[in-house]
Amino acid sequence: DIEHPLWYTAPSAKTMELAKKDDLSNTVVSDGQRGEPGFPAANLALTDEQIAKVKAGEFTVAISMGWLGDDWASQQLIGLKESFEAMGIKVVAETNANWDDAKQIADLDAISVLKPDLLVSIPLNGKTTASAYKKISDAGTKVVFIDQAVEGMDPGKDYASIISSDNLALGMYLADALAEATGGKGDVAAMYYANDFYVTNLRYEGFIARVEAKYPDMHVVVAAGHNDPNKGQEVAQGLLARYPTLSGVYASWSIPAMGAVTAATVAGRTPADFKIVNENFDQIVALNMAQNGFIAGISSQRPYDQGVAEAKVGALALLGEQTPPYVVVPPLKVVRSNLAESYKTIYRVDLPAEMAEALAN
């Protein structure tokens, strides 16, 4: 009976069914936008022969991002660029629409001029930017979508694949992490990104579904939106002022989550009685977790792996191979006990000294 976001639609029966499963590690929860089953990214592979062919092709690629400025975007870019370099594909353009659909169209228009062989891009919106993608695809550029496709384009024909996190699962892991940290009891809050955005919508949906299905004693008493991650603190403050007994919050991305950390600190709450979970595994929240701070759980994506998968799919598409329409990168649930190991998995390097030290205490 809380007030859900404006764009919210209740989880489907199938989602509710899966939400009841105890162990999700071998399940792909989300389907593609057309109901396609997810293809695990780990199963993608190129033969040596294929790689040699790609190298010989001297292909070019353009990358059009919807935003930059978090580890998700930068790790993904690293994954993309490293893989492309390894395969001899040249990056000829890189754009950032900075959350602005119109800017993304302008970016795509400029990219179309370069006539790259491949485009890897995350559409900010499945409808608004559709024609710009269609134009590029019609001109013969292979398109690989990150997270979602646009309307009016068909897999296999107009684009190669969508590579996405399992966003419903991501939301469910968040619920698991929060329940684990709070003991599955008490009042909690959810902070959400107020704008209609495909992937964050799914995570919210997954979170709500899981809480409903599995944690009857944990009550989501309020959901509050923000349309600017920097405002996370203001929102969290408001929640804590109004619901002083909250035992935890799902605080969406890492920046709002850190805002919630600040809000909790100044509200006199302690990590012992207030838990925050979020969905970006970046340096900042990781450090806080290592330091026994408020961040109790992270439902992490694997942006680097996702970037690599995108590059692989792109390479296959360049060779004219058929690729699975919906490729899924599974989430990773990070808590303090598996922090070091998770860090290595996601970032491919050891935990920074500062975190290691904090973790040791």
Partner 1 sequence: MQSKATAAPRPPSALPKVQLQNYVVYIFFAVVLLFFSVTIGDKGFLSVMNLFNIARTTAMITVIAVAMTFVISAGELDLSVGSTAALAALTCGLVMQAGFGWPVAVLAALVAGLAVGCLNGFFVTLIGIPSFLVTLGMMQFIRGLDMRVTYTNPVSISNQSFNSLFGSGNLFGVPSLLIWSLVIAVLGHVVLKYTGFGREILATGGNRMAAEYSGVKTRRVKFAAFLLSGAAAALAGMLYSGMMQTARFNFGEGAELMAIAAVILGGTSLFGGRGTILGTFAGSLLIGTINNGLIIMGLDVSEQMMVSGGIIILAVAFGKKPTA
146 to 175, contacts with partner 1 by CB under 8 A? 151
Q: Least Å distance between CB 238 and partner 1?
A: 3
**292: contact with partner 1 by CB under 8 A:** no
Stretch that binds partner 1, among 12-20, 48-56, 128-136, 154-162 (CB under 8 A): 128-136
**137: contact with partner 1 by CB under 8 A:** no
Closest to partner 1 by CB, 87 vs 108, is 108
Stretch that binds partner 1, among 38-46, 65-73, 203-211, 296-304 (CB under 8 A): 65-73
Site string for partner 1, 8-47 (x = CB under 8 A): ----------------------------------------
Number of Cβ atoms within 10 Å of the Cβ of 56: 9
Stretch that binds partner 1, among 4-12, 17-25, 205-213, 300-308 (CB under 8 A): 4-12
Q: Where are the alpha helices (DSSP H) in the chain?
A: 13-19, 48-57, 71-86, 101-114, 130-138, 167-182, 198-214, 232-242, 254-266, 283-290, 303-318, 339-347, 353-360
Exactly one of 111, 120, 169, 276 binds partner 1 (CB under 8 A); which one? 111
Number of Cβ atoms within 10 Å of the Cβ of 168: 28
Three-class DSSP category at 353? helix
Exactly one of 15, 30, 76, 112 binds partner 1 (CB under 8 A); which one? 112
Exactly one of 11, 32, 259, 271 binds partner 1 (CB under 8 A); which one? 259
Residues 6+ apart with CB under 8 A from 227: 193, 194, 195
Question: Could you say which residues in the range 342-361 bind partner 1, by CB under 8 A?
Answer: 354
- The answer to whether the CB of 205 falls within 8 A of the CB of 9 is yes
Question: Could you say which residues in the range 220-249 bind partner 1, by CB under 8 A?
Answer: 222, 224-228, 230, 233-235, 237-239, 241-244
Three-class DSSP category at 341? helix
Q: Using CA atoms, how far apart are residues 304 and 290, in angstroms rounded to an integer? A: 22
Three-class DSSP category at 246? coil
Helices 353-360 and 339-347 sit at what angle, rounded to 10 degrees? 160
Exactly one of 147, 176, 279, 282 binds partner 1 (CB under 8 A); which one? 282
Stretch that binds partner 1, among 39-47, 205-213, 280-288, 339-347 (CB under 8 A): 280-288
CA distances from 280 to 41, 140, 157, 158, 159 (A): 19, 35, 33, 31, 28
